[in-house]
Amino acid sequence: MIRLLTVVFALPVTAQTPDTTKVILLDEVVVSGSYKKTSELNATQPVRVVEKSFLRDYFAGNLTQTLEHIPGVHSMDIGSGFSKPMIRGMGFNRISVTENGIKQEGQQWGADHGLEIDAFGVERVSVRKGPASLLYGSDAMGGVVEISPVPPPSENQFFGEAALLGKSVNETLGGSVMLGLKKNAWHTKLRFSEQHFGDYRIPADTVVYLTQRLPVEGQKLKNTAGFERDVSWYTAYRKGGYYANFAVSDAYQKVGFFAGAHGIPDASLLKDDGDSRNIELPYSSVNHLKITTHQHYAWDGLSGYWDLGFQNNHREEWSRFHTHYGTQLPPATDADKELEFSLNTFSSSVKMKTFYSGHWEHTTGWDLQYQQNCIAGYSFLLPEYNRLTTGVLWLSAYRPNKKITVSGGVRYDYGRLNIPAFRDAYLANYLQEQSYDNDMIDFYQWRSYPVDRKFGDFSGSLGLVWNPDDIHLVKVNIGRSFRLPGANELASNGVHHGTFRHEQGDASLNSEQGWQLDASYTYEHRNVSLTITPFGSWFGNYIYLKPTGEWSVLPHAGQIYRYTEAEAVFAGVEAEVGIDFLPCLNYRVSGEYVYTYNVDENIPLPFSPPASLRNILTWKSNYAQVHIEMQRIASQNRASRNEDPTPGANLWNMGATVNVPLCGTRVEFTLSAQNLWNVKYYNHLSFYRKVEIPEPGRNFQILINVPFKSKVK
């Protein structure tokens, strides 16, 4: 009997319209459509699917930096160890990163917190640009980075790979080993990865922090060394209409903080100690444990999905004990532990898809998430909290013929955030010693007031895909999205040493609400391809961190930066053109531009990415590939208040991949060079920009990958 199945491991319910690649099972024969092509045809919003070859060619040891080669995607870099994704100028809690159907939950609210995901283990990524709240919840109003496994081998076999990585800019030495087995209905993989890196090089001898010029000896940022260790296990089972997978991963990172950009700068701490690989105070350590399962059963015309996950994100920041209050003594244990956050997240997502009719397809779903955050350390920034969110959705797609798809849906989300009060007795004593009156002392000693708020709102979308022939593809989508404010936006109140400012939440903030319009046109014919994607968004109450001009009563804290609402506009365009001159020669140029505007204050929004243009010339053969790239980063002069403009730069990069037949397999050697001319330039999105720390200098990289396999009975 013919049974229609959705490819669970390839196309879970994603984007604003349901993806509908189906697999026909006839005994042991599997016939499937192209994952990439089907995603583009069914999603009414721009979606870019990248496979392992792309991830290998632009591998950076860091997933976010690898994805920067996709127009509209930017990397907010924090030194050489941390990066977080931005899509069309939106980041932090506005971008969802999902793996195996579960949203990655950590400390993504902070500029100095990166993703805890093993870049070696990523095999396929779908980047959804624009509002995706309908299927992913409120934290996806800016887009989604979706990591999904690739299909298993068709034959029973033992397989695996070994990879080695080396970088010159920070003396990285890394590697990864994966072992897998495909046996009848079972498919399992085990991976271990590790990277060690030293202090990274910059093309500068000094940096400036709070008007103080600090030395950079040997053009190396002292104490930016670190290491990353990842282990993961994945197994899947398929029989008849039932499919399930189970995944466990543990990611650990320990990275030093450049002392010239953490806390109170001191030139004496920056003297070269002769060891570029040691990790001293201050530093951060992060451990992310994730356990997930995806369950799927398919009947004739009906599919049911259940994604279930648990995550523990444990982050600590260590800095030699220092107090701004004369009465505060070092803790009896872990005296140098400045901050600790332990976030537990339980997630569940149930979806049901029906496709009885040849023209209609309906998806219903229910999502539930519960979070609990605990804190410790001698400093205070973010309080403890409990957060519960749940949402229900309905999404329908109508296909009168193979050329047109119309889809639309609606979702309602409910959220509740409970934050206990936190009284700072040391601050109360300090203010009393400074002769503040009792009313002022009583007002400021409560670093966190009790918050118990409930939020509820609708999101929805309506989209059209028109594919008149194999040459043209047109998409239009309009959506209403919203986002629940995070705990940091409601209740943070302390000095964030990573950015050296007093960050303060506002418990009266409402959920963000906005309307977003996307359109795209794709032309593919013979040796020419063209994609152009304009977009625009309007938010009635966009939440951002605003310098208030108010002086903080906290000692050595400076100005208060408070989370504030404002009417805001986003607009821009992405474009990409590819030309095949010969069967082996390709030229691709891609560009992007984002315009942001704070309507209330008539100024740009902070962290607005500059316009950029990439020119890539690629030569390919059966065994080798070489590319040369020139990237133009425009000046960003549309800076927000208290944000420095950033000059532009021209960067040259090169890369080559060679497949060498060896012992029955093909060993892949990928060589690359970034910033060939060692140009001094700044990343406008990095908080290191404020300290005038340029991006890393010239870097040579080698990645060696050795795949292997053997048949098993």
Q: How confident is the model at residue 500 (pLDDT cuts 50, 70, 90)?
A: low
Whether the pLDDT of residue 584 is over 80: the answer is yes
> Looking at residue 30, what is its pLDDT?
43
> Looking at residue 112, what is its pLDDT?
67
Domain 3-711, CATH number (from 2.115.10.20, 3.30.360.10, 2.40.30.10, 2.40.170.20)? 2.40.170.20
In angstroms, the CA 188 to CA 460 distance is: 38
- Answer with the residue of higher pLDDT: 52 or 39: 52
In angstroms, the CA 516 to CA 173 distance is: 44
pLDDT digits (tens, 9 = 90+) for 291-329: 999 999 998 889 999 999 999 999 999 988 877 777 788
Q: How confident is the model at residue 217 (pLDDT cuts 50, 70, 90)?
A: confident
What is the mean pLDDT of the segment spanning 605-634?
A: 94
Pairing of strands 226-239, 242-256: antiparallel
Domain boundaries, the chain: 3-711
- Answer with the residue of higher pLDDT: 23 or 62: 62
Q: Provide the 3-class DSSP secondary structure of residue 55.
A: helix
103 Cβ contact list (under 8 Å, min separation 6): 96, 97, 136, 137, 139, 347, 369
Q: Which residues share a beta bridge with 598?
A: 568, 603
What is the mean pLDDT of the segment spanning 641-652?
A: 91
Contact 85, 139 (CB under 8 A): no
Whether the pLDDT of residue 4 is over 60: the answer is no
- Please give the mean pLDDT across all residues of the chain: 87
Whether the bond into 547 is cis, omega within 30 of 0: no
Of the candidates 79, 93, 86, 87, the one whose C-alpha atom is nearest the C-alpha of residue 563 is 93
In angstroms, the CA 403 to CA 353 distance is: 22
How many CB atoms sit inside 10 A of residue 641's CB? 12
CA 229 to chain centre: 19
Of the candidates 376, 499, 489, 493, the one whose C-alpha atom is nearest the C-alpha of residue 427 is 493
Q: How confident is the model at residue 676 (pLDDT cuts 50, 70, 90)?
A: very high
Instruction: Name the amino acid, one letter, at 181.
Output: L
Contact 170, 201 (CB under 8 A): yes
Pairing of strands 385-401, 404-419: antiparallel
The tokens describing 103, both together, are 């949203």
The tokens describing 344, both together, are 């537990």
Whether the pLDDT of residue 499 is over 70: the answer is no
> Looking at residue 16, what is its pLDDT?
46
- Answer with the residue of higher pLDDT: 643 or 654: 654
Whether the pLDDT of residue 104 is over 80: the answer is yes
Of the candidates 527, 633, 518, the one whose C-alpha atom is nearest the C-alpha of residue 574 is 518
Whether the pLDDT of residue 114 is over 80: the answer is no
Q: 């009719």: which residue's tokens?
A: 357
The tokens describing 49, both together, are 């699917």
439 Cβ contact list (under 8 Å, min separation 6): none
In angstroms, the CA 46 to CA 482 distance is: 19
Pairing of strands 47-50, 226-239: unpaired
pLDDT digits (tens, 9 = 90+) for 147-171: 998 889 889 999 999 999 999 999 9
What is the mean pLDDT of the segment spanning 133-153?
A: 88
How many CB atoms sit inside 10 A of residue 660's CB? 13
Instruction: Name the amino acid, one letter, at 545.
Output: L
3-state secondary structure labels for all residues of 688-702: HHHHCCCCCCCEEEE
Alpha-carbon torsion (149, 150, 153, 158), positive or negative: negative
* Residue 382: burial class (beta carbons within 10 Å; 0-12, 13-18, 19+): buried
Cα angle 172-233-85, degrees, rounded to a multiple of 5: 55
Pairing of strands 612-620, 699-711: unpaired
What is the mean pLDDT of the segment spanning 99-105?
A: 91
What is the mean pLDDT of the segment spanning 546-565?
A: 81
How many CB atoms sit inside 10 A of residue 79's CB? 25
DSSP symbols for 46-102: -EEEE-HHHHHHT--SSHHHHHTTSTTEEEEEETTTEEEEEETTB-GGGEEEEETTE
What is the mean pLDDT of the segment spanning 270-286?
A: 88
Whether the pLDDT of residue 136 is over 90: the answer is no
- Answer with the residue of higher pLDDT: 554 or 277: 277
Q: Provide the 3-class DSSP secondary structure of residue 535.
A: strand
In angstroms, the CA 362 to CA 676 distance is: 51
The tokens describing 486, both together, are 């995070």
Q: 């189970």: which residue's tokens?
A: 246
* Residue 696: burial class (beta carbons within 10 Å; 0-12, 13-18, 19+): buried
Pairing of strands 472-483, 512-525: antiparallel
Highest mean pLDDT pick, 210-214, 443-447, 680-684:
680-684
Whether the bond into 485 is cis, omega within 30 of 0: no
Whether the pLDDT of residue 264 is over 70: the answer is no
> Looking at residue 2, what is its pLDDT?
35
Q: 């080669």: which residue's tokens?
A: 69
Percent pLDDT > 70 in the chain is 92
The tokens describing 1, both together, are 């009997």
Radius of gyration, alpha carbons of the chain = 25
How many CB atoms sit inside 10 A of residue 454's CB? 10
In angstroms, the CA 295 to CA 586 distance is: 42
Cα angle 668-671-677, degrees, rounded to a multiple of 5: 170
Cα angle 238-241-243, degrees, rounded to a multiple of 5: 35
Lowest mean pLDDT among 77-81, 178-182, 679-683: 77-81
Q: Residue 313 belongs to what H/E stretch?
A: strand 302-318
CA atoms within 13 A on the CB side of 184: 3
Lowest mean pLDDT among 227-241, 267-281, 344-358, 366-380: 267-281
Q: Provide the 3-class DSSP secondary structure of residue 93.
A: helix
In angstroms, the CA 341 to CA 557 distance is: 21
499 Cβ contact list (under 8 Å, min separation 6): 111, 112, 687, 690
Lowest mean pLDDT among 140-144, 460-464, 520-524: 140-144
690 phi, psi to nearest 5 deg: -65, -25
Q: Residue 134 belongs to what H/E stretch?
A: helix 133-136
What is the distance between the terminal CA atoms of the chain, rounded to a whole angstrom?
27
- Answer with the residue of higher pLDDT: 43 or 600: 600
516 phi, psi to nearest 5 deg: -135, 140
What is the mean pLDDT of the segment spanning 250-255?
A: 95
How many CB atoms sit inside 10 A of residue 150's CB? 12
Contact 348, 369 (CB under 8 A): yes
In angstroms, the CA 135 to CA 459 distance is: 10
CA atoms within 13 A on the CB side of 53: 7
> Looking at residue 494, what is its pLDDT?
81
In angstroms, the CA 524 to CA 473 distance is: 9
Whether the pLDDT of residue 1 is over 60: the answer is no
Strand order in the sheet with 95-99: 47-50, 125-129, 143-147, 95-99, 102-103
The tokens describing 38, both together, are 């089907």
Whether the full predicted model's pTM is greater than 0.85, yes or no, is: yes
